[in-house]
Amino acid sequence: MQQRPLGRSGVRVGRLALGTMTWANQTDEYEARDQLAAFLDAGGSLIDTADSYAQGASEDLLGTLIQEFDCRDDVVLATKAVQRPGTDRRLDASRRHLLRALDASLARLDVDHVDLWQVHRWDSWTPLEETLAALDHAVTSGKVRYVGISNYSGWQTSRACTIQELKGSAPIITTQMEYSLLERGIEREIVPAAQTLGLGILPWSPLGRGVLTGKYRHSIPIDSRGGNPETSGFVGAYNNERAHRIVDAVCTAAEGLDASPGEVALAWLRDRPGVVAPILGARTTNQLISALASEELELPEEIITALEDVSEPDMGYPEAGWAQRR
């Protein structure tokens, strides 16, 4: 697998990452073991989890498998904190919570440090300076090597990075955002900010919540997220005419390239400006293997142009147009 720098750091990672949000929930221990084996065999290195995934059980399972595979030195281990589902305060980026959450993550993962620790969401209740101070402490304590953010808006991203730069503190090197042919909103502000600030973009849900695989094109499979009452709303957000046009275009391109729609969608995203590694959050090993096959696919320029045209996001003042012309 081709390697890329992880933002403005000296670390290089494979250009496809493994996501574990479904582990210990929709993906059992046996499937997770097979997924990790397939990912490592493909040359992957960046593995992403979070303390809130399956209420910590995802980290537990990942830690167990890393020990079993004896692959800690071969992977770049990333986790996240801030979310507190099922509590009165759903988002908590206070120093108190973050540092306690980090210690809990390290214990579950059975490691003495993580390579990338990310602030999962913006918390409007906590001063940003307090959150960033917690990140600095995590790095200076040796428990974290690098820090990143996730789901921050453009102004939040710029402010956080500027504060860190002015303090001379641990720089923010990545931003994890939803990004796919169905969700290109980050191109308005996040992508330009990331390129200016030296952040590597880690797209989550790169297959448009599964919709870009084409499996929802004519019906909703019973064993899919769309067929599950608990997760159907997550998928249903892309059940609209615009999404249907984009999926049709992806499927047409896939037929012409003798590839799967998922491979086409991932190959397009993988090579977007600023992207380091789309995060593959597969439920099954077969889904992961199919997604990993995109590593070998290079899209012709005419197909890239066609996909960009059909999925082009609305751009206007002040992000584009006359206000940005030189």
- 108-121: average pLDDT: 98
Is the pLDDT at 223 greater than 80? The verdict is no
Tell me: the pLDDT tens digits for 171-214? 999 999 999 999 999 999 999 999 999 999 999 999 999 999 99
Give the pair of three-digit tokens for residue 100.
């306690």
Question: Which residue matches tokens 């969700």?
Answer: 183
**Domain presence at residue 240:** no
CA separation, residue 28 to residues 32, 77, 105, 235, 282 (Å): 6, 20, 20, 21, 12
Give the range of the structural domain holding residue 130, as residue numbers without chain letter: 3-213+261-300
> How far is Cα 298 from Cα 301, in angstroms, rounded to an integer?
9
pTM value > 0.85: yes
Q: Reading across the β-sheet that carries 144-150, which strands appear in turn?
A: 200-204, 172-178, 144-150, 114-119, 76-81, 46-48, 17-19, 279-280
CA torsion through residues 9, 11, 12, 17, sign: negative
Instruction: List phi, psi (to 5°) of 185.
Output: -60, -30
**Does 294 reside within a domain?**
yes
Domain count, the chain: 1
Q: Would you say residue 116 lies in a domain?
A: yes
Question: Which one of 30, 53, 146, 152 is the catalytic residue?
Answer: 53
Cβ pair 216, 210 in contact under 8 A: yes
Residue 238 within any structural domain of the chain? no
**Does residue 177 sit within a domain?**
yes
Task: Indicate whether 99 belongs to any domain.
Answer: yes
Active site residue 238: no
Domain assignment of residue 154, yes or no: yes
pLDDT at 324: 85
> CATH number of the domain that 94 lies in?
3.20.20.100
Asked if residue 248 lies in contact with residue 301, where contact means CB atoms within 8 angstroms, the answer is: no
Is position 65 within any domain? Answer: yes
Q: With bands split at pLDDT 50, 70 and 90, how would you rate the model's confidence at 225? A: low
Q: 174: which DSSP letter? A: E
